[in-house]
Structure 1
Amino acid sequence: MWWEALPTLAQEKPDAARGYSYLVNGGYVGCGVPVTVMKRAVLSKSLVPASVIATFIPMAGEDIFNSGTQLPERNSDNALLIPSMNIFETKRGNKVINFNCLSCHGESIDGNFIVGLGNRTRDFTQEISRFAKVLPLLAWTAEEREEVRAFQRATETISPYIQTNTVGVNPAINLTYALFSQRHAEDYTWSETPTLEPPATIFPPVDVPPWWRMGRKSSMFYSGEFRHSHHRIMMLASTLCVENQKEMRALEKPFYDVEAFGKSLRAPRYPAPIVRETAERGRLVFNQNCSSCHGTYGENGSYPDRIVPIEVVGTDPWLMEHQTGIETQRFWESGEEASQALYGEKFGFHALRGYSAPPLDGIWSTAPFFHNGSVPNLEAVLNSSSRPTYWWKSNTHQSQDYDVAQVGVKFELLNYGYYQGFPFTRRYIYDTTLPGYGNQGHTFGDHLTHDERSAVIEYLKTL
């Protein structure tokens, strides 16, 4: 086999419920803003301008400590907190707040927060270090200042490498490379100067896939990286603040449970009426034209788990080229060395020259589509001539912004691109002429009639 099969952990069976509890309460990031300092920042309008707060917390107008969206089974510190953040105690004994996994792997649709749905509205276009730089002014005790220093070190280091052009696309891959470049591979300690040349500040955008695909898909990422074992990759964001191998190893068991939770998730059901006769016609068209890559569904359904060569699928190649290129390999060589030192075995990073054809469970909820989020609805996925070159993204998932007919997000067609937009608002422009943002390829539905495409879309609502 071309991938390295990583052995199952020699430990008790993973517990999905325990993984969920850790996910929504745990301190796996390791550092954060002291709760007292964060309250001074967000609750006092005079101390920190809202524009600075928004670089770190886009929902600056919301009381993050008294959210209208509350997750089950959170502890007393987190019960009323927004779903995308955890309050936890650091190894220094201080309570801090920071983003959790759900800041990228959770999203609301019409007010309902869906755990595991890739976030499509988080704003990475701004410089998060602006927020970190004001925190020393709000840290009034020695304990607060100590926690702020740890948080500042991490955020100011990664800030240049995680800024995107467009709201909703994700910089997680570049974040990983930035963190690798600050670690000593042999013992996983932090280096004040880069141990590798840091990654470029311009990088391919990524649309966050839903976690429920993990239960069917062997590779975690779009080009086939990390087949079979996911938990050690899921915990890499924790390298933001862990100090050494011992702290990193301590995360493995709980993240084994988190992986089990992710694999236990099932896709949400389509919330509106479905025309069953049309959907059945669509099933037949789908099975004839789409199932060889995306699988079949129902009681006897099967998923082929294919990586489609770039020459066949034809979608924007930059992410694949980035992951298989020489520039990226140096980070994974360092990462593999660190993994060998940590676990006695390698991660198993093997990117291929193509993209995974994902299972389509819950596809209705995952707009916009393609690996870079470049296509706003399923109609445009199946009809390449209808894809907009420039479009204005809605930054909400409310019902008025959801396109029921074409299944996707509503958008405004523009006749100008990112660089022609106003500087303060152009982050909502999706410009498919930018490197990595292209919407070409996947023309497999172009030969279908309008009625056939409509029937397929109706069927996809049932998955």
Structure 2
Amino acid sequence: MKYKFQILCLLSFILVLPSCSSENLAEELEIIEEPEVVEEPEPEIIRTTAIPESVQRPGDAEKGEQYLFSGDYMSAGIPYDAWLRLYGEDNSNILNRIGDNAVISYDNTAFITKNGVRAVAPNCLNCHSSFINDEYVIGLGQHDGDYTTNRADNVALLTTAINSVYGANSPEAISYQQFAKSITALGPKTMTLSRGVNPANKIAEVLVSHRDKNTLEWQDDPLVDLPDEVIPTDVPAWWLLKKKNAMFFNAMGRMDFCKSFIGASLLTIDGTEKAIEVDEKVEDILAYIYSLEAPDYPFEVNSDLAGEGKVVFENTCSSCHGTYGEQETYPNFLVALESIQTDPELSNHYNTPSELNTYFLDWFNNGWFGTFGSPLEIVPEGGYVAPPLDGIWATAPYLHNGSVPTLMDMLNSKARPEFWKRSFDNADYDTNKVGWNYTVETGQSDKNTYNTNLKGYGNGGHIFGDELTNTERLALLEYLKTL
């Protein structure tokens, strides 16, 4: 919601007072002999930049679905039998996969490595699908991930076990080595300070710090120093991508979106030969992502109130977030930090000169990703995208760092909790405030408490709804349920 109304309205104040008798109200009014005249401030200019369109490669959505669910875009992983012993069979098979994958959890994929080993590694659905109200939704960002621990802690033990069972020089042990190296590098560098946020940006930084920009070959010693801090992000919904001219919250992913998908393969990829093979297929994944639609709100909607909320939305929010219905529009605006005022750390991280940023931009723009075939371009300009709002009811928590638990809190920045905790039960949903049920805490007691005082975890900014009345907010919430 991008226009900030700062008009102090005496009438609106009276309308939201507790009910009282007309005599008492008259007495209250008699106190005000000469109402203070409040001068209206000049309307704040919301500084935006229109993001230029990036023409994308066409693909086959059906093929993309199959490759996303069961494809071999990973090159190394845990031996299949060892994976089953560790995690057991998952017979839910919610992706309706066949063969080895029929008993593998949806967020992992079984495949055959180049040296003929049956292996299992995480897939894209690990972060880009989730459950809400006990319904599995592909494309819904992972809202309950736990990255607060060092995932490398058990690598040494698992390596010893694999070497013992299969032999240190066995094909299984050899194909597992790159997976082990990557997790060892990622583990201590990608730990978040609260559950529910994602270290995606730091994961990318760690992986590219260990790979040659042209050959993509792994380097045991990092090529650039990385800070220990992790700037958290939420995971945006995939179904929004079809409307967007740039990827990521700060819109720095430009040109070929398909190339960015290959970034997931950097976990285990063994060079450009495999990258070229994956590049030929990710255009189908993009077509599949473009085919996804936002899930419908599953609870009751007050249609009359939603109609009133549509008017509020079109007067307050649509110029940046677009319009919805038969004739949809979306302006693709990048909003400046001084206008949006949300936590600046993610934007500043890539928009501030540093050795890391010089390396990062050169690695993508001048290496294989930026020069082979259809190039990916990384363009950090500062600020954050005003995203489309399709299916916004399902995408709590809100803001780019997941710092606001409900839409009602989004519309009233003064009510946002400093410390808040949720159950991480995907059915623990608040239909009144539209988002997660939560408790207000006095401090961070454990990983399930979101602490907005931490660097990168701030919940300020986006105050455009603060001047709405409670009645307008309730109507707007009802309309947002319908998007």
2:209 alignment partner in structure 1? 181
Matched residues in 2 for 1:444 and 1:372: separation?
18
Pick from 7, 17, 40 the counterpart of residue 62 of structure 2.
17
1:361 aligns with 2:387: no
- Please say if 1:196 is aligned against 2:224: yes
Residue of structure 1 equivalent to 2:9: none
CA distance in 1 between partners of 2:481 and 2:161 (Å) = 49
Task: Report if aligned partners of 1:117, 1:209 keep a CA contact under 8 Å in 2.
Answer: yes
The one-letter amino acid of 2:450's match is Y
Does the CA contact (< 8 Å) of 1:37 and 1:138 recur in 2? no
Count of residues in correspondence between the two structures: 428
Contact 1:105 1:115 in 2 (8 A): yes
The offset of 1:405, in angstroms, is 0.7
Question: Deviation per CA, 1:125-169, whole angstroms, max 9, x where unpaired?
Answer: 111112222112332112332233222111112212211111111
Match of 2:145 among 111, 115, 122: 122
- Tell me what 2:276 maps to: 249
Q: Secondary structure at the match of 2:136?
A: strand
* Gapped regions of structure 1 (runs ≥ 5): 43-62
Q: Which has the larger radius of gyration?
A: 2
Counterpart in the other structure of 2:452: 432
Give the one of 82, 85, 92 matched to 1:40: 85
The answer (yes or no) to whether the contact 1:186–1:341 under 8 Å persists in 2 is no
Q: Residues 312, 335 of structure 1: CA spacing in aligned structure 2 closer, same or farther, 3 A cutoff?
A: same
| Distance verdict in 2 for CA 1:340–1:171, change over 3 Å | closer
> SS state of the match for residue 192, structure 2?
coil
1:312 deviates by 0.6
Alignment equivalent of 2:349, drawn from 309, 322, 337: 322
% same residue: 34
Aligned AA (1:130): D
Tell me, in whole angstroms, the C-alpha distance in 2 between the residues paired with 1:329 and 1:410.
42
Match status 1:223 vs 2:250: yes
Deviation at 1:346, TM superposition (A): 4.4
Task: Find 1:295's aligned residue among 306, 311, 322.
Answer: 322
- Give the corresponding residue for 1:261: 288
Give distance in 2, aligned partners of 1:35 and 1:157: 23
- TM-fit CA distance, 1:37: 1.2
Once the two structures are overlaid, the 10-residue window that deviates more, 226-235 or 339-348, is: 339-348
For 2:235, what is the secondary structure of its paired residue? coil
Q: Tell me the residue number matched to 2:482.
A: 462
Does residue 309 of structure 2 align to residue 286 of structure 1? no
SS at match of 2:384: strand
Question: What is the match of residue 174 of structure 2?
Answer: 146
- Structure 1 residue 450 corresponds to structure 2 residue 450: no
The amino acid of 1:241's aligned partner reads: T
Over 3 Å counting, the alpha-carbon distance change for 1:345 and 1:148 in structure 2 is closer
Within 5 Å, give how 1:91-110 maps onto structure 2. Answer: 91-110=114-133
Report how far residue 248 of structure 1 moved: 0.9
CA contact under 8 A between 2:254 and 2:376: conserved in structure 1? no
The aligned counterpart of 1:59 is: none
Counterpart position of 2:298: 271
Deviation at 1:397, TM superposition (A): 0.8
Say whether the 8 Å CA contact 1:70–1:80 is kept in structure 2.
Answer: no
Of residues 134, 144, 147, the one that matches 2:157 is: 134
Q: Structure 1 246/109 Cα, relative in aligned 2: closer, same or farther at 3 Å?
A: same
Partner Cα separation in structure 1 for residue 50 and residue 294 of structure 2: 30
SS in 2 for 1:93: coil
Structure 2 residue matching 1:130: 3-state secondary structure: coil
Query: Residues 3 and 369 from structure 1, CA distance in 2 versus in 1: closer, same or farther, beyond 3 angstroms?
Result: closer
Q: Does the Cα contact within 8 Å between 2:54 and 2:245 map onto a contact in 1?
A: no
Instruction: Give the Cα–Cα distance (whole angstroms) in 1 for the partners of residues 56 and 231 of structure 2.
Output: 32
How far apart, in 2, do the equivalents of 1:138 and 1:346 lie?
A: 41
Name the CA shift for 1:21/1:345 in 2 (closer, same or farther; >3 Å).
closer
The CA RMSD over aligned residues, in Å, is 1.8
| Native 8 Å contact 1:167 1:428 kept in 2 | yes
- State the match for 2:98 in structure 1: 75
CA change 1:284–1:341 in 2 (3 A) is: closer
**Letter aligned with residue 399 of structure 2:** F
Q: Which moved more, 1:362-371 or 1:102-111?
A: 102-111
Q: Which runs of 5+ in 2 are unaligned?
A: 1-48
2:59 alignment partner AA: P
